[in-house]
Structure 1
Amino acid sequence: MRLRTALLGIIALATTLLPATAEAAGSPPSVLGGSGPYSAGYETTFRLPGHTIYRPGTLPAGIKLPIVAWGNGACRADGTWFENILTEWASHGFLVIANGRPGGFGQTDPEMLIESIDWAVAENSRLGSKYRNKIDTTKVAVMGQSCGGIETYEVADDPRITTTVLWNSGLLDDSQNDLLQQLHAPIAYFIGGPSDIAYPNAMDDWQRLPAGLPAFMGNLDVGHFGTFDQPNGGEFGRVGGHWLKWQLKGDQASKTQFVGPTCGLCSTDWDVQQKNLT
């Protein structure tokens, strides 16, 4: 609780808000975007109140969407605060579920990330669901920015999670270091370099990760606000998309961005560290 309270005052960024779409079986989101093969947008559902769901406008035939649960910076309950980057990832064939309703207010909690996973798993089997048999419930990413990253840590022991990602985030209190020992899935950190307020905390966490855990650390000198407000989430959107495509879809071209001394990010503006990545 102390960690979350300390992070509530961190302002991440503001993005353009779009009107929420009413739920209708099979109806696409009204506003579409992203650079991927599936133009994406967001919607809401009464079955998952307090969340915003990003998905391809037309659900792809014969392709199952992996699950991505997202926690906002400042633990803010606004599901469209990070709209640019979440739409981008959805356009590459992911079901991205953000804490908070579109344009919402108030605060979130870690359990909301678990609610997102539970809802997606249930929808995949529910009779009458437009998502029936269209979700890959065996591939689950949980990620968050700043305070949302702390929420991610707090649920990372869920055995359904297949990758954990922290954006501009790290533990603020050494008394919580036991959370690191609960990590069981490959983890990635995307941090804004030394000027990022979360930089020292993230680097401290990096040194304390469980032995043998596959891990990637990428620092780009863009500060705590990252590139989230740029079209399609900017460089953070591009790199995060590659991580998701590798971890949740087994994409080997995306894997080369992160693995080995000649990785795609290794000779760029990114400062890269790797552990146990093969």
Structure 2
Amino acid sequence: MRMRSAITVALLLLGTLTSGTVSATADAPPSVLAGSGPYSAGYETTLRLANHTIYRPNTLPTNVRLPIVAWGNGACRADGTWFQNILTEWASHGFLVIANGRPGGSGSTDSDMLIDSIDWAIAENSRIGSKYRGRIDTSKVAVMGQSCGGIETYEVADDPRITTTVLWNSGLLRDSQNYLLSRLRAPIAYFIGGPSDIAYPNAMDDWGRLPAGLPAFMGNLDVGHFGTFDQPNGGEFGRVGGHWLKWQLKGDPTSRAQFVGPDCGLCATDWDVLQKNLS
């Protein structure tokens, strides 16, 4: 049974880092934020997906297609630039990352917004006149979120288009939500901030309830609920999350080696690693 005080639950839903807000107009050109990958990346907005922020290479590559990554913010906060360091980092490695909320936005999000992101990207890939036409890999989709955004991720994880789900500093809050675990169908990864993370006990409880045979990875790094999101390029969370995306959405063998087997790349590091059904 999950034991959560009202204060602890409130903290989990409050999310993480603080940052300056950035305003942007609809259909604005991408900002230049960079990232460590081969593509300088930034974010933009569009009237066709008015309540989201789109991170992508500032110059769209012509020789590769961008897999889709839908992101839910901590606190279910509708600010699409709240996690801009880590989202820019992933975009710089050739992903189309779509965050719930407009740049500097306020209010709350919901899980339907993650589905809106996927629907928009798939439509843009085929829409005549779209700059994304033919440049998105619509067969490769990750849905992920931090804290409250992780709960949003669970809520849509049965969508058959999803290739992988990822939870950051998150876990179900109540036993009445356990049915969501039975609906998981794609490989899942948890990146948690260790025992000092208020989401740690719930994430570990979820880990023990995963469906039999589901490929799963659990990584704990002792950084607490705030993670490394506010560090340049998202810090260690950005690096490891990029590897998971490159393995799951691009089939990269070097990234796969970070997670698979007793000698995995993360196994002999500060990460505390658990694995299920990975191959």
> TM-score interval w.r.t. the shorter chain?
over 0.9
Post-superposition Cα deviations, 1:120-159, rounded to whole Å, max 9, x if no partner, equal 0000000000000000000000000000000000000000
Question: Which residue matches 1:20?
Answer: 24
5+ residue gaps, structure 2, are: 1-5
Question: Which residue matches 2:77?
Answer: 76
Rounded Cα–Cα distance in structure 2 between residues aligned with 1:119 and 1:51: 10
Rounded Cα–Cα distance in structure 1 between residues aligned with 2:179 and 2:34: 40
Rounded Cα–Cα distance in structure 1 between residues aligned with 2:255 and 2:20: 29
Rounded Cα–Cα distance in structure 1 between residues aligned with 2:271 and 2:12: 28
Deviation at 1:61, TM superposition (A): 1.0
Rounded Cα–Cα distance in structure 2 between residues aligned with 1:21 and 1:53: 13
TM-score by length of 1: 0.95
Percent identical residues: 83
Rounded Cα–Cα distance in structure 2 between residues aligned with 1:47 and 1:193: 39
Rounded Cα–Cα distance in structure 2 between residues aligned with 1:70 and 1:240: 12
Question: Which residue matches 2:177?
Answer: 176
Alignment of 1:153 with 2:154, yes or no, is: yes
Deviation at 1:29, TM superposition (A): 1.2
Name the count of aligned residue pairs. Answer: 272
AA matched with 1:13: L
AA matched with 2:27: E
Deviation at 1:11, TM superposition (A): 3.4
AA matched with 1:95: L
> Kindly tell me: are residues 240 and 193 of structure 1, through their superposed partners in 2, closer, same or farther at Cα, counting changes over 3 Å?
same
Q: Do the aligned residues in 1 keep the contact of 2:15 with 2:147 (CA within 8 Å)?
A: no
Post-superposition Cα deviations, 1:216-236, rounded to whole Å, max 9, x if no partner, equal 000000000000000000000
Question: Which residue matches 1:241?
Answer: 242
Q: Do the aligned residues in 1 keep the contact of 2:181 with 2:206 (CA within 8 Å)?
A: yes
Q: Do the aligned residues in 1 keep the contact of 2:37 with 2:89 (CA within 8 Å)?
A: yes
Alignment of 1:133 with 2:134, yes or no, is: yes
Deviation at 1:8, TM superposition (A): 7.2
Rounded Cα–Cα distance in structure 1 between residues aligned with 2:211 and 2:10: 25
Rounded Cα–Cα distance in structure 1 between residues aligned with 2:64 and 2:239: 21
Deviation at 1:177, TM superposition (A): 0.5
> Kindly tell me: are residues 232 and 44 of structure 1, through their superposed partners in 2, closer, same or farther at Cα, counting changes over 3 Å?
same
What pairs up with 1:57-206 in 2 under 5 angstroms?
57-206=58-207
5+ residue gaps, structure 1, are: none
Rounded Cα–Cα distance in structure 1 between residues aligned with 2:275 and 2:62: 36
Moved more, 202-211 or 7-16: 7-16
Question: Which residue matches 1:39?
Answer: 40
Name the SS for the 1:183 alignment partner. Answer: coil
2:15 to 11, 25, 28: 11
Post-superposition Cα deviations, 1:152-196, rounded to whole Å, max 9, x if no partner, equal 000000000000000000001011101001000000000000000
Question: Which residue matches 2:260?
Answer: 259
CA-atom RMSD in angstroms: 1.4
Q: Do the aligned residues in 1 keep the contact of 2:145 with 2:167 (CA within 8 Å)?
A: yes
Post-superposition Cα deviations, 1:90-134, rounded to whole Å, max 9, x if no partner, equal 000000000000000000000000000000000000000000000
Rounded Cα–Cα distance in structure 1 between residues aligned with 2:13 and 2:256: 35
AA matched with 1:231: P
Rounded Cα–Cα distance in structure 2 between residues aligned with 1:90 and 1:9: 26
Rounded Cα–Cα distance in structure 1 between residues aligned with 2:250 and 2:11: 32
AA matched with 1:88: E
What pairs up with 1:264-275 in 2 under 5 angstroms?
264-275=265-276
AA matched with 1:107: S
Runs of 4+ aligned structure 1 residues displaced above 4 Å come to: 5-9
